Structure 1
Amino acid sequence: MALWKRANTYYVDITAPDGSRIKHTTGTADREKAKEYHDKLKAQLWDLARLKQKPKRSWDEAALRWLKEKAHKKSYRDDVQRIRWFTGHLRGKTLDQIDRSLVDGLVTRHIHGTDRTKDLYVALIRAIFRRAMREWEWIDAVPAFKTYSVGGKVRVRWITEEQAETLLKELPAHQREVVVFALATGLRQGNVLDLTWDRVNLARRIATIEHGDTKNGEALGVPLNDLAAAVLMRQQGKHESHVFTFRGRPLRSANTRAWRKALRRAAITNFRWHDLRHTWASWLRQNDVPTWVLQELGGWKSESMVRRYAHLSVKHLQPYADQLTFGSRTGLAGEAQKTAEVHVPKSPPGTAQTGLRLVTRDGVTV
């Protein structure tokens, strides 16, 4: 207790719960009354601190509230998957117990994907904490969670047609159809699994994705090539509303244990379900589909998103590269000219390419 007397009056010196220091007069020269004032003031400060103190909220509460409020998100399935993963490690912990060090340790030890994949997990927990602070007023600050990728470059991972053929052989039948359709259309997982028959017109060879279901917020018309149409024809009659089902029920996820096991058996590494979309776009660019056409087919709002595939096709640049005539005049380019005249590109062994049709080694089209 800090009491001192000056000019015949007692003063108090108290450190409040928030760390601030309070010094002022008690207004009395009586030590007992000054002591009583000191104790009463200290009790009032602690009561005030308790009133201001937010009740501790758990990760489980935050996760449930987030999912309830974000049920409309286009990436809701991804949120569910990542929250389920985090909950396996954070169940029972209060938000004030979750910090940068804890999350970094979990992500580093248990997520073996790319830095971009790690960032997607951390981005979700960061968003939940920001909402808990700004809107729910559960916490006063958001931890400075770590960012793993450098430079902000978008990862592009794709597989060859031969690799795709191998992967399809390893998948169970119901998932094989989903993957073939994704490779044929370039649609995102959510758009494939949510596809309903009222959005399909086989006669006109078109599927429609409504504006509320696309990433850019605009409706997308998807032209159905032979491969995509064949998949849809095989699904007819299996369900009254949804196209892709398993045991009579709509498929809810394609990124399953069976998918991951099939990847391992096919010896395909560092490959996510979304990379099927990158594969589709890469195949089209390798077949010299113009960037603007690819942008419209894939529903990308910005051309910059499509230019990540530009390096896969340089045929349109060849005439400009050929403007360099030094080798022709000197004879140094003679052998290369002969090679260029007789060279015929070949498809990977065991595959035949017609658009996006995949033909297996035994001649069966999938």
Structure 2
Amino acid sequence: MAYSTISNTWPPSVRYLATICRILSLCVEWNWIAKLPKITQFEEPDVRVRWKPRPVITTLIQAIAMDWLKEVALFAVATGMRADEILSLTWSQVDTARSHAWVTHGRAKSKRARAVPLNADALAVLERRRGIHGSMIFTRAARSGRAVAKISQVDARMFERACRAIGIEDFHFHDLRHTWASGHVQAGTPLMVLKELGGWERIEMVQKYAHLAPTHLAAHTETVTFWSQQTLEKKQPPLLAAVGA
């Protein structure tokens, strides 16, 4: 049986390739095929995590010219919701008395509905939006200046313009979600809790933020020591000597 070179128009996952190579190696070992086919190896792309500290985000939001985009950006960094989840949010999906919003399964990337706790920043945004539209929370004024229109997507050019105005490069609207997640991890939110808050499907999806919170390991660093523990034991008198005294 002959096989040609395996190639793709996009780089597959390294893990999938490793599995395929192992299967083919076994096929050669079992004499099912004459030799291994040539497989192009690809490197898995680096996970992009782009976030900014609170003062920078505050300055960025203030630099956004459009009021509706400013409110959407603030709501994004306050809740960690994705742009589509925010723009499709209706008043029937929020309960300000209980400080919660709900993302429907149809809008969630994971196709799982979830509750989103609302902090003071998010509630303040909702209060300012109240009364503008009967059903939609985030809308913008139509060209006539009288009616309001549904927002289909974030104005990426306006967001980029605000970034340039304050000297930020390579920062996109979705990075507000990364900023929200990074802030949670640095404040001590466990990764499993963050997974549920952000609506990620697998824990591996939030592992990319784990390095931002090394403090959760600090309590265990003194469990195993060598030099300092030995020095401390030498300074303490033997138990028998202490009893005899």
**If the length of structure 2 is used for normalisation, what is the TM-score?**
0.71
User: Is the alpha carbon distance of 1:262 and 1:325 closer, same or farther for their aligned partners in structure 2, counting shifts above 3 Å?
Assistant: same
Inter-partner Cα distance in structure 2 for 1:261 and 1:330: 59
Q: Which has the larger radius of gyration?
A: 1
Residue matched to 1:175 = 69
Residue matched to 2:153 = 253
Amino acid at match of 2:89: L
- Is 1:151 aligned to 2:44, yes or no? yes
Inter-partner Cα distance in structure 2 for 1:309 and 1:255: 27
- Is 1:222 aligned to 2:116, yes or no? yes
Gapped regions of structure 1 (runs ≥ 5): 1-99, 101-148, 332-366
Higher RCO (CA < 8 A, seq sep 6+): 2
Aligned positions of 1:1-366 closer than 5 A: 150-172=43-65, 173-247=67-141, 248-326=148-226, 328=228
Deviation at 1:154, TM superposition (A): 2.1
Deviation at 1:216, TM superposition (A): 0.8
SS in 2 for 1:213: coil
SS in 2 for 1:296: helix
User: Is the alpha carbon distance of 1:198 and 1:323 closer, same or farther for their aligned partners in structure 2, counting shifts above 3 Å?
Assistant: same
User: Is the alpha carbon distance of 1:321 and 1:179 closer, same or farther for their aligned partners in structure 2, counting shifts above 3 Å?
Assistant: same
The more displaced of 252-261 and 266-275 is 252-261
Deviation at 1:325, TM superposition (A): 3.4
Deviation at 1:330, TM superposition (A): 8.2
Q: CA RMSD in A?
A: 1.8
Deviation at 1:315, TM superposition (A): 1.8
Amino acid at match of 2:125: V
Deviations 1:26-46 (A, max 9, x none): xxxxxxxxxxxxxxxxxxxxx
Gapped regions of structure 2 (runs ≥ 5): 1-8, 10-41, 142-147, 232-245
Inter-partner Cα distance in structure 1 for 2:185 and 2:82: 18
Deviation at 1:239, TM superposition (A): 0.7
Aligned 8 A contact 2:69 2:155 in 1: no
SS in 2 for 1:254: coil
Amino acid at match of 2:77: L
**If the length of structure 1 is used for normalisation, what is the TM-score?**
0.48
Residue matched to 1:62 = none
Amino acid at match of 2:54: E
Amino acid at match of 1:195: L
Deviation at 1:320, TM superposition (A): 1.9
